[in-house]
Structure 1
Amino acid sequence: MAEHKRVPSRRRKVLLVAACAFVALVVVGAGAAGWAYLKLNGNIKSVDIDSRLGDARPPAATDGSFNILVLGSDSRAGANGDLAGGSTGDSARSDTAMVVHVSQDHSRASIVSIPRDTLVDRPQCTDGAGKTVQAVKRAMYNSAFETGGAACAVKTTEQLTGLRMDHYLQVDFAGFARVVDAIGGATVTTTVAIHDKDSGLDLPAGQHHLDGQQALAFVRTRHGVGDGSDLGRIELQKQMVKSLLQQAGGIGLFSDPVKLWSIGDTMTRSITTDSALGSVNSLVGLAQELKGIGPDQLTMVTLPVMTAPADPNRVVEQQPQAGTVWAALRADQPVPRSVVSAQPENPAQAAPTASPKATEKATGKADAVR
C-alpha cells in the first residue's frame, strides 16, 4: 500500500512562509548593516598623530577629561574651490581652530578659539611625507597646518596650551556645507545687515535659516561685520556652533533611519580624524560621551590676545589672561569668569564700530576672506 504524504494545512503554510521571510530579512538586514558599516568606515580619512609625535608631549589626563583639536581647513582643493570666496593657491591653512575641553564627568565643555593670526613659537615638525619642518619663532598659528599638516598643528597647539590633544578632527569647506545641509540648515540672528562680497554673504538684519553654503559664508565673513577682523569672524563661528547643536538635538535622528544614514554618510565623508577616532565605532563612542552637552553646557571663548608689538596685522597672547585659560583647562576647571566677561562683542549682534574700508586702511587687512 502506497504511503500517503501529509499535506500541510493552510495555517502551517503561512507560518512556514513567515519564518522563511523572517530569516531572509535577518540575513539581508545583517548584510545591509555590514555593508553600511564598511561604507561609513571607508569614508573616514585619518592621520596617525601619535606615531608622528612620539612621547615628547604633555601627559594625557587620567581623570576622564579629554581635549579635541578641531580645525577648519581653508583648502580650495576639489569641491572647495568655488566655496566661500578668497584664494590660497595650492596650500591649505587651519582657517578655524578650536580647542575643545570635555570635563571629567562629560557634563560640560569649554571651547577656546585660537585666532589664526596669533604669533606662536612653532616647534620642529615632521610633515606627512616625512620631511622635517624647522622650528620658527613668532610664526602665524595657522602656518603649522600649512607647512606640517595635522601632526604639526597638534604639536604646535600642545606647546601653546600645555594640554594633550587626545583627538583631532578636521573639516573642510565643502564638508562643512554638506553637514549643515544634512541636518537641515542652521538658524542665526543678526541685529545688523551683513553684506560681504568676499564671502558672498548678503543678509538683512533679523533671523535667518541658512543652508550649507550660506552657513559657510556666515562663518567665513570678515569684512561684512564689525571691524573686519578675524576676531569678529570668530564670534560668528561661536553663534553658528550653538545653532548647529540646537538643530542637531531637535531633528530626531534615531526615529528616522533614512536621515540617520544620510547624516552619517555625509559626516564621515567630510572629516579627517586622528587614527583613534578613525572608525564608526569610535565616532559613535565619542558621540555617546558628548550627548549630554548642549548649548547651555557649553562655554565658548576666544583666546585673549592683543595686537603684536612688531606687527599691527598680527596678535599675540594677552597675559596673564591667556595663561589663566590654559591653566583652568589643565585643571579641568571652567574658563575664569573674568575672561568670559571680557570677551569681544559679537559684531552680528551690535552696530559696527567702523566701516570696512576705514578698518582695512588702518589695519592693512584688505586681503579678501582667506
Structure 2
Amino acid sequence: MPDRSTTPSSPRGVARHGRLRRRGPVRMLLGLVAGTMAVVLVSGVSVAAIAVRSATSGVQTVSLGNEDEVAGVDISAIQGGANILLVGSDERDDGSQVDAGEVDGIRNDVTILAHLSADHTQLTAVSFPRDLMIDVPECVGDDGQVYPAEDYVQFNTTLGRGGLSCTVKTVEGMTGLAIPYAGKITFDGVIEMSNAIGGVDVCVTRTIRDTDSGIDLTAGTHTLQGAEALAFLRTRHGVGDGSDIARISSQQVFLSSMMRKIISGGTLGDVTTLYKLASAALSNMTLSSTLDSPDTLVRLALALKDIQPAGIVFVQYPVVDDPRDPNRVVQSTTDAAALNAALNADQKFTLGDDSAGRGSVSDGTAPVATTPPAAPSETSTPSDTTSESSVPAAPAATDAPTTTLPSTITGQSAAEATCSVGSSR
C-alpha cells in the first residue's frame, strides 16, 4: 500500500465537474487551520499547547481509513507538503444558534482543500464549487458501508453519500493528491469564531441584500461577526451574478481579511481571545482520527506561524459551464490540470493580474498588507509537552522559480485587499 501521508496518491477516477445548486443553506468553513494558527501566531507554543489540549477534549472523530499510513508521520514535516480537507456542511445540531430553514439531506456545501508547502512558506486554499458535476469513486463511508462508484454526481452530495471519508476520496481522485487529514465545521463554529476575533472588516462595492440568507449591507466597509458574518458567507443571490462561483470569490474577500487580522495581531494580543478562537473552531468540528491529537494540531500551527499574507493563496477549482445543464459546472480540463500539477509538485505559484472572481474586485483604496513585527513569546509552563525544540524545523525555502497560473484560474492572495460586489439583480 502506498504511503498516502508522504507521497501523492494516484487519481482514483476521472473527474467531471459542474455548477451550483439553486437552494439550500451554505456553511462557511473558517476552520481548523485559522483556529490553531491564530493561537500560535501571537502567543507562542506554550499557550497553543494548553489551549488546543483543552479545546480538543471531547471533539468527535471519524476514520478516513488511512490511520496506519499516517501513524508516526509529523504533519509539519511531510515531504511534498501537507494536505487537509476542510468541509462545511448544511446539517444542524439540536440547540443550534442558526435558524436557516429545513435541511434536505446532508451536503458539503463548502469544501476547501488546504495545501501547506513543505517549506511552510505558502498555504493554498482551493474552494470546490458545490454544483460541480463529477464521477465519484467507490468508498467506504464513515458508517462502514461500501458506496459504489457513480458517474455524473453533484459534488456537494458526497458528504451525504458516505461522510467525510467519501468527500476526501473524491477530492483525492480529482486532484491526484493524498489527503491524510480532514475536518468538518458547523454553522455555530462560524458564528463563534467571528465573535472570538471581534469581527472581520469586509468591503462592499454596492448594496448586498438577500432575503434567503438575511444579509442587508450598504456599500462601504462593515465589521461582520456572529450571525451577520454567517449570513454574508452564505449569500449567493446577494453577490455578483448570483451564482455559487460568485459566492466563492466573495467568501475569499472575507477569508483574506480575516487572515490579515489574525497575522497582524490586532485583537489577538491576549491569551483569552486566542483561547476563545481555538475553542470556537475545535468545539464545533468533527475531525479525522488522524488529526485529533493535540500534538498534531500544535505542530500544524507551528508550521504556519511564520507565514505571511502574500503566502496565503485562495483559489477556485477551475470549472466551465456544464453543456448538459446551464445551472451546473464541469471541470475546466486544461486549467484544472495546471493547478493539480502545481499542487502535486509542491510548486510555489501566483495568480494572474486579472484573476478576480465573479463576486469580487480589487479595493484600490486599501493599504498594502505588510509583514507584522514578531509577536512576543510566552514563557513555557510545566503543562507543556510540545515545545519549539521538539518540532522539526521547516525545510529551507527552495530557490525554485515561482510560476504564474493561467489568468483563467480565479482567486487572490490574503495580501490583496478586495471588495465583494453586490448583485445586479
Q: TM-score, normalised on structure 1?
A: 0.78
Equivalent residues of 2:239, 2:359 under 8 A apart: no
How well do the aligned residues superpose, as a CA RMSD in angstroms?
A: 2.8
Counterpart in 1 of 2:61? 46
Equivalent residues of 1:110, 1:334 under 8 A apart: no
Equivalent residues of 1:112, 1:301 under 8 A apart: yes
Equivalent residues of 1:198, 1:221 under 8 A apart: yes
Counterpart in 2 of 1:67? 83
Counterpart in 1 of 2:142? 128
CA shift, 1:41, in A, is 2.9
Answer yes or no: is 1:309 the counterpart of 2:323.
yes
Rounded to whole Å, the distance in 2 between the matches of 1:256 and 1:81 is 27
Any gaps of 5 or more consecutive residues in structure 2?
A: 1-47, 362-418
CA shift, 1:50, in A, is 3.1
Rounded to whole Å, the distance in 2 between the matches of 1:317 and 1:195 is 30
Answer yes or no: is 1:110 the counterpart of 2:128.
no
Counterpart in 1 of 2:358? 345
User: Which of 1 and 2 has greater Rg?
Assistant: 1
CA shift, 1:187, in A, is 0.8
Equivalent residues of 1:127, 1:133 under 8 A apart: yes
Rounded to whole Å, the distance in 1 between the matches of 2:299 and 2:197 is 20
Answer yes or no: is 1:216 the counterpart of 2:260.
no
Rounded to whole Å, the distance in 1 between the matches of 2:78 and 2:294 is 25
Q: Which amino acid aligns with 2:315?
A: V
Q: Which amino acid aligns with 1:229?
A: S
CA shift, 1:45, in A, is 2.0
Paired residues for 1:287-326 under 5 Å: 287-326=301-340
Q: How many residues align?
A: 316
**Deviation by residue 1:256-302 (Cα, 9 ceiling, x = unmatched):** 23223323322220222222220322212111111122322111111
Call closer, same or farther: CA 1:210–1:331 in 2, change over 3 Å: same
Higher relative contact order (CA 8 A, sep 6+): 2
Q: Which amino acid aligns with 1:103?
A: S
**3-state DSSP class of the match of 1:139?**
strand
Paired residues for 1:1-370 under 5 Å: 39-51=54-66, 63-80=79-96, 82-83=98-99, 85-89=100-104, 91-251=105-265, 256-335=270-349, 337=351, 341-347=354-360, 349=419, 354-355=424-425
Rounded to whole Å, the distance in 1 between the matches of 2:421 and 2:155 is 30
CA shift, 1:35, in A, is 9.5
Q: Which amino acid aligns with 2:55?
A: L
More moved, 269-278 vs 136-145: 269-278
Rounded to whole Å, the distance in 1 between the matches of 2:116 and 2:251 is 19
**Deviation by residue 1:210-238 (Cα, 9 ceiling, x = unmatched):** 11211111111001122111001101111
CA shift, 1:240, in A, is 1.3
Equivalent residues of 1:184, 1:247 under 8 A apart: no
Write 1 or 2 for the structure with the bigger share of helix: 1
Call closer, same or farther: CA 1:53–1:174 in 2, change over 3 Å: farther
CA shift, 1:167, in A, is 1.5
Rounded to whole Å, the distance in 1 between the matches of 2:49 and 2:326 is 55
**3-state DSSP class of the match of 2:221?**
strand
Q: Which amino acid aligns with 1:232?
A: A
CA shift, 1:66, in A, is 1.4
**3-state DSSP class of the match of 1:246?**
helix
**3-state DSSP class of the match of 1:42?**
coil
Call closer, same or farther: CA 1:249–1:37 in 2, change over 3 Å: closer
Equivalent residues of 2:67, 2:290 under 8 A apart: no
Q: TM-score, normalised on structure 2?
A: 0.68
Rounded to whole Å, the distance in 2 between the matches of 1:40 and 1:345 is 37
Equivalent residues of 1:302, 1:343 under 8 A apart: no
CA shift, 1:253, in A, is 7.8
**3-state DSSP class of the match of 1:184?**
coil
Rounded to whole Å, the distance in 1 between the matches of 2:172 and 2:68 is 11
Call closer, same or farther: CA 1:353–1:48 in 2, change over 3 Å: closer
